[in-house]
Structure 1
Amino acid sequence: MNEKESQHDKAQGRRPFLLGALLGVAVGAVLCAAVILGAMPKMMIATQESRLGFDETVDALERAIPAHGWVVSSVLDMNQSMAKHNVQFGPRVKLVKLCNPEHAKSVLTTDRYVSTLMPCTMAVWEGDDGKVYLSRMNMPLMAKLFGGNIARVMGGNVARDERAILSGIVRD
C-alpha cells in the first residue's frame, strides 16, 4: 500500500467519527435548549404559599409595602375586571402593583426599555387546592439576565426589599 492509499484509508476512518461527533453535539444542543425552554417559565415566576387568607394577604401587603419605603400604585381585582366584560372566573385573583420611586429612577436613567416591567406586580391568587398563593417575578434571576445597572438595582435593593415585604406573609 502506498502512502497516498494509506492517507485515504485514515481519512475514511475519521469520517464516521466526525459525523458522529457532530451529530452528538447537535443532539446535545437541541436537548439543552429544550430543557432550558421548559424550565424558564417556572424559573421566571416565584410563587409561595401565603400564611394568611386571601383578603388578609392583600391587606398585609398593602401595609408592608409602604412600611418598607415602597408605594402601592394600585390593587386590581381581576375577577371584577373580567366581570365588567361578562367573563366570570371563580378563584380570586388580585394584582398588587408597587413601586419604589428611587429604584425606578435609577433603572429608568440607564435602561428605559425595562419600563415594561414597571411597576412591580405581586399576584395574590386562590389555588384549586383552596390555598392562597403569592406570585411575582423572580427578581434575582431577572437581574442576572439583564446585567448592568438592572442587575445591581433589581438583584440587590429590589430583591432585598421584596424579601422584607413578604416576611411573615408567605411560607418559606
Structure 2
Amino acid sequence: MLINFETGKSVQEVRQALEEKAKAKGFGVMSVHEVSNILKNKGVPIDYECVIVEVCSPKHASQVLSKNAFISTAMPCRIAIFQKEGKTVVSTMAPTQMLEMFQEPDLKPMAEEVERLMKEIMEESL
C-alpha cells in the first residue's frame, strides 16, 4: 500500500521542507537521489522531475534490527517526490504493510508509530 499526497509546491520546495520536517521528528536524512538528473546524465531521461529522499529514525531502526536483521532490506524509508499531471506527488510505502513480509507481529506497534510519523512528515511538507 502506498501513502500518497499531492501539492501545488515544486518538487524542490517539498524536498527542502521534507528534509527539515524529518529532522524535526527525529529522523535522519540518509541520502537524496536526484533520479531525473541521474537518468538524464546517463542518457536515458524521463520527462518529469523525480527525487527520492531516504530517511531513518535511529531509535526505531535499532529496535527492529535488534529483532530481525532481514528488515534492513526494507530500510531506510524512501519518500518519492515527483511531478504528475501538473501536481507534485509525495509517496512512500506503508511501513505497516512492508512489515508483514517479515512475519514479526510484535513489531506492528512500532511500524504503526513510524507510519504515523512518516505521514506527519509528508503532510507537513506540502
Q: Scaled by the length of structure 2, what TM-score is found? A: 0.88
| 2:92 aligned with 1:136 | yes
Q: CA deviation at 1:75?
A: 0.9
Cα deviation per residue 1:8-54 (whole Å; 9 max; x = unaligned)? Answer: xxxxxxxxxxxxxxxxxxxxxxxxxxxxxxxxxxxx22222125222
Give the equivalent residue in structure 2 for 1:46.
3
Q: Distance in 2 between matches of 1:102 and 1:46?
A: 22
Cα deviation per residue 1:110-165 (whole Å; 9 max; x = unaligned)? Answer: 111111110000000000x111001101223334564424312112x201211221
One-letter amino acid matched to 2:50: V
Contact 2:50-2:83 at 8 Å conserved across structures? yes
Change (3 A) 1:167 1:58: same
Give the equivalent residue in structure 2 for 1:106.
63
Task: Specify which structure has the bigger relative contact order, considering alpha-carbon pairs within 8 angstroms and separated by 6 or more residues.
Answer: 2
Give the equivalent residue in structure 2 for 1:123.
80
Structure 2, unmatched stretches of 5+, are none
More strand by share: 2
One-letter amino acid matched to 1:77: E
Q: Distance in 1 between matches of 2:61 and 2:118?
A: 14
Segments of 4+ moved more than 4 angstroms: none
Let me know the Cα RMSD of the aligned residues: 1.7
Contact 1:52-1:169 at 8 Å conserved across structures? no
